[in-house]
Structure 1
Amino acid sequence: MDKRNISFSDEIPADYAEEIIISGLFVIFQYWISKKNPEPIAELIKIINKSRFLAPYKMIDLKKDN
């Protein structure tokens, strides 16, 4: 546990987990402000909240054509 009383999973080192979380939020915000017609802030917050609980592979539809 670090000084902010946050604990991280043992799956990856805490310093990497923290960077992934922070950089992901930063990139989402950068993209949002770069859009010509960005969503309202309330919608952005919903998107960010949903993105924090979805694994990347669940954000992509990987349907295979057979």
Structure 2
Amino acid sequence: MRNLYLTDCTDDELEKTFYTFSKPNVVEMINKYGDIEKPVALGIRMLKEVPEFRAMAASTTWALLKG
């Protein structure tokens, strides 16, 4: 899914993504709740607590659906 999202991103969108993921509260959340074996829990938490992540998730879902 990462590749689908990144393939369709403009440079500005990619910059916003890096900015979002570098915010201290997001880094703390990833460090605290991130688990490579169980990524869904972190994803759901980020959808609830990080508004910018919602747009990223929607873009990734759209890229997945259109193939």
Q: TM-score, normalised by structure 1?
A: 0.37
Larger Rg over CA atoms: 1
**Structure possessing the higher relative contact order (Cα contacts under 8 Å, 6 or more residues apart):** 2
